[in-house]
């Protein structure tokens, strides 16, 4: 539909009309969500250059595309470029809309996630706290955007080893999402899975299994047996399968662990290819399992130097 709309607008209004450029931007977002990142970047860059020419560097539509380019670069691991885009968008939104506008706060949240990925955890917390306080004021404590930032703070606290605070954030996010979206919404299930990760880290393995099983059943129902989101490795059925494999290995249930790892591996290879990091982490986990089982020939065939990788969703 976007392609049809784009062709019509290009014919009617020209390549650089602002309505044409909005559709170009939307195509970029579609390609990003489909994992077609090269095409996404071409669309975003075309939209950005056209908007800068038509509206200027600080127009809100220009800044929205700047933020989108930052999201794309973050997904591609081009984190220095992503930071430049987010900083430009944040400064522009602050100037145009003010520090408490929701677009400003969304960009602050994005910067928080980037800083977390860069290991700059103090800066990440400042961004998340700013975003959370602003969203609570603008939208209320139970708005879904507020809850997304609550969940992000939980992730940060888990990274910092502040596990009690992490659990508090995850529980708040889960209860809010269940109320707003229902028990089986995919965003709810993502938080269920994340709680499973936390309980596994805390050694509360029975609770972890319950969370993983709930997340897996819900994701299989919503997405199918082999779904893996092209948006990120944090939202996929297969990641939950891999996490269950890891849990079963910790519990000594090695046959069940192998079954989960094999299922995750086949799915990741089909969805993302043999060299994607999610595939390789599962390959490594399977190799460690084979070593524990004494199946050394099979373990040797698996890439990885024995370092344990736990893929989270």
Distance CA 286, CA 281 (A): 9
The string of pLDDT tens digits covering residues 200-213 is 999 999 999 999 99
Beta bridge partners of 228: 236
Strand (E) or helix (H) holding 303: none
Q: How confident is the model over 253-257, as a mean pLDDT? A: 96
Domains and CATH numbers, the chain: 1-78 (1.25.40.10), 99-181 (1.25.40.10), 185-313 (1.25.40.10)
pLDDT above 50 for 272: yes
Find the range with the poorest average confidence among 99-103, 289-293, 305-309: 305-309
Residues 6+ apart with CB under 8 A from 98: 104
Beta bridge partners of 236: 228
Please state, in angstroms and as integers, the Cα–Cα distance from residue 137 to each residue in 77, 126, 143, 179, 312, following that order.
Answer: 32, 17, 11, 19, 31
Beta bridge partners of 302: none
The string of pLDDT tens digits covering residues 94-138 is 999 999 999 999 999 999 999 999 999 999 999 999 999 999 999
Report the mean per-residue pLDDT for the chain: 88
């Amino acid at each position: 539909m976007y392609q049809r709309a784009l062709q019509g607008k290009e014919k009617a209004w020209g390549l650089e009309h602002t309505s044409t450029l909005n559709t170009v931007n939307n195509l970029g977002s579609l390609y990003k969500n489909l994992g077609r990142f090269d095409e996404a970047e071409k669309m975003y860059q075309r939209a950005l250059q056209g908007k800068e020419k038509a509206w200027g560097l600080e127009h809100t539509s220009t800044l929205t595309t700047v933020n989108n380019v930052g999201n794309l670069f973050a997904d591609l691991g081009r984190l220095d470029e992503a930071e430049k885009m987010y900083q430009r968008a944040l400064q522009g939104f602050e100037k145009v809309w003010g520090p408490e506008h929701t677009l400003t706060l969304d960009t602050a949240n994005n910067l928080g996630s980037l800083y977390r990925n860069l290991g700059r955890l103090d800066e990440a917390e400042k961004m998340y706290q700013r975003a959370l306080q602003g969203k609570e004021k603008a939208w209320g404590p139970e708005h879904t955007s507020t809850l997304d930032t609550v969940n992000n703070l939980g992730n940060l606290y888990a990274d910092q080893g502040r596990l009690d605070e992490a659990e508090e954030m995850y529980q708040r996010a889960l209860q809010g999402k269940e109320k707003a979206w229902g028990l089986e919404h995919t965003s709810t299930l993502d938080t269920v899975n994340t709680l499973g990760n936390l309980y596994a880290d805390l050694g509360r393995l029975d609770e972890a299994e319950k969370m993983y099983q709930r997340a897996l059943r819900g994701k299989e129902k919503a997405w199918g047996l082999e779904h893996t989101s092209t948006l990120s490795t944090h939202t996929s059925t297969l990641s939950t399968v891999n996490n269950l494999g890891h849990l079963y290995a910790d519990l000594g249930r090695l046959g069940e662990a192998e079954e989960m790892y094999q299922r995750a591996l086949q799915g990741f290879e089909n969805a993302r290819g043999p060299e994607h990091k999610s595939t390789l982490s599962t390959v490594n986990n399977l190799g460690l399992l084979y070593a524990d089982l004494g199946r050394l020939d099979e373990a040797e065939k698996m890439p990885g130097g024995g370092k344990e990788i736990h893929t989270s969703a």
